[in-house]
Amino acid sequence: MPAELSPIDKAKFAAARRAVDFVEDGMKVGLGTGSTAAWMVRCLGEMVREEGLSIVGVPTSTRTAELARQVGIKVVTLEEAKWLDLTIDGADEFDPELNLIKGGGGALLQEKIVATASDQMIVITDAAKEVAQLGAFPLPVEVVPFGWQTTRGLIEEMLSSMDVMGRQTALRLNGTQPFLTDEGNYIVDCHLKRIGNPRQLSLVLNQIPGVVENGLFIDICDKVIIGGADGTVELRDINDGSVSHDRIDFAEESNIFSDLD
C-alpha cells in the first residue's frame, strides 16, 4: 500500500472491500458516486479482471461511469437493467436507523433513483459519518434553474415551520457559476444543523414547486459498512438488527493500489 494513503482513505477502502463480498456473478449492481464509492468500483474492477466476475453496473453519475469503464466493468443504463440486485454507495451522514444525507457530490437524484430500483442498498462509510441525529452536514436540495430564487425562498419559508436548528440556505457554486448536476439542475444546500423529523422534511420539501429531489434517504439503506484505518470493518443490518465485525488485510490488496504508485 502506498505510504501516502491517508488513514481516511484506508478506512474508506476497508469498507468498500468488505462491501464487494456481497456482489455475486451475474448481478446487476448500482454503482455509487463519491470518494468511498470510487474505491468500491476499483475493487469490483479488480474482481472482473482477476477473478472473471461477470456483472453489469449502473452508474449514478458520469464520473462513476467513466471510472467503471476504465477498470473493466460493463456499464448499462437503468432502462436497460430495469431492476438491480444491489446498490453500493457512500453517504455524507447516517443515523442509528440508517437514514442518510447524500448529495455532497451532487449526484443525489440519480443515486436515489438507482438505490430505490434495487433489492437492497449497502452504504460504505467511515465512523466520522455516523451521527445521533441528521443535519450537521448541509442537506442538498436539487432544484430546476428556472425560478430557482423563488424556489429557494419557498424552501426557507417552509423551514420556519420545521423542526430544524438552522435555516440558512446557499446556492452551490462551481467557481463563480452555479454548480450543475448531470441533469443540468442547481443545488441549494440547506444548513440545518439538526433535523428533528427527517421523514416529514423530505416529504414537504418535495412538494415545493421547482424542487426535483432532496438528499434525505429514508428507509432505503439496508446495511451500512463502517471501515477503520486499521482495516477493521463493522457491518450493521437494519433488517435483522445484527452487527458483525471483520478485518481487511491491506497486505493482500496491493493490486488495488497499483494505479496510485
Dump pLDDT digits (tens) for 102-132: 999 999 999 999 999 999 999 999 999 999 9
Tell me which residue range forms the domain holding 249.
7-131+219-260
Query: What is the dihedral sign for C-alpha 175, 180, 186, 190?
Result: negative
Beta strands 243-247; 232-237: pairing state: antiparallel
Burial of residue 77 (number of CB atoms within 10 Å: 0-12, 13-18, 19+): exposed
- Residue 256 has a pLDDT of 63
| Position 47 in a domain | yes
Co-location of 29 and 120 in the same domain: yes
Co-location of 209 and 224 in the same domain: no
The enclosing domain of 233 has a CATH number of 3.40.50.1360
Which grid cell is 185?
439542475
Whole-structure pTM value: 0.94
Q: Is 97 labeled as catalytic in the residue annotation? A: no
Q: What is the mean pLDDT of residues 164-171?
A: 97
| Position 1 in a domain | no
Co-location of 115 and 238 in the same domain: yes
Specify the range with the lowest mean pLDDT, choosing from 31-35, 134-138, 205-209, 255-259: 255-259
The enclosing domain of 164 has a CATH number of 3.30.70.260
Amino acid, single-letter form, for residue 73: I
In angstroms, the CA 171 to CA 178 distance is: 7
| Position 168 in a domain | yes
Which grid cell is 33?
458516486
| Position 2 in a domain | no
Sorting pLDDT into bands at 50, 70 and 90, what band is 3?
Answer: very low
What residue numbers does the annotated binding site cover?
A: 33-36, 89-92, 102-105, 129
Co-location of 117 and 235 in the same domain: yes
| Position 19 in a domain | yes
Co-location of 148 and 113 in the same domain: no
Which grid cell is 212?
426535483
- Residue 251 has a pLDDT of 74
Report the first-to-last Cα separation within the chain, whole angstroms. Answer: 9
Co-location of 116 and 194 in the same domain: no
| Position 206 in a domain | yes
What are the Cα distances from residue 235, in Å, to 15, 72, 203?
9, 28, 29
Co-location of 243 and 184 in the same domain: no
Which grid cell is 40?
468500491
Q: Which of 24, 79, 97, 111 is catalytic?
A: 111
98: pLDDT strictly greater than 90: yes
Write down how long the chain is: 261
Co-location of 89 and 61 in the same domain: yes
| Position 60 in a domain | yes
Co-location of 198 and 150 in the same domain: yes
Burial of residue 130 (number of CB atoms within 10 Å: 0-12, 13-18, 19+): middle
Co-location of 49 and 123 in the same domain: yes
261: pLDDT strictly greater than 80: no
What residue numbers does the annotated binding site for substrate cover?
A: 33-36, 89-92, 102-105, 129
Number of domains in the chain: 2
| Position 246 in a domain | yes
Co-location of 56 and 101 in the same domain: yes
In angstroms, the CA 257 to CA 244 distance is: 27
Give the residue among 203, 187, 15 at the shortest CA–CA distance from 107.
187
Co-location of 115 and 149 in the same domain: no
49: pLDDT strictly greater than 70: yes
In angstroms, the CA 47 to CA 58 distance is: 17
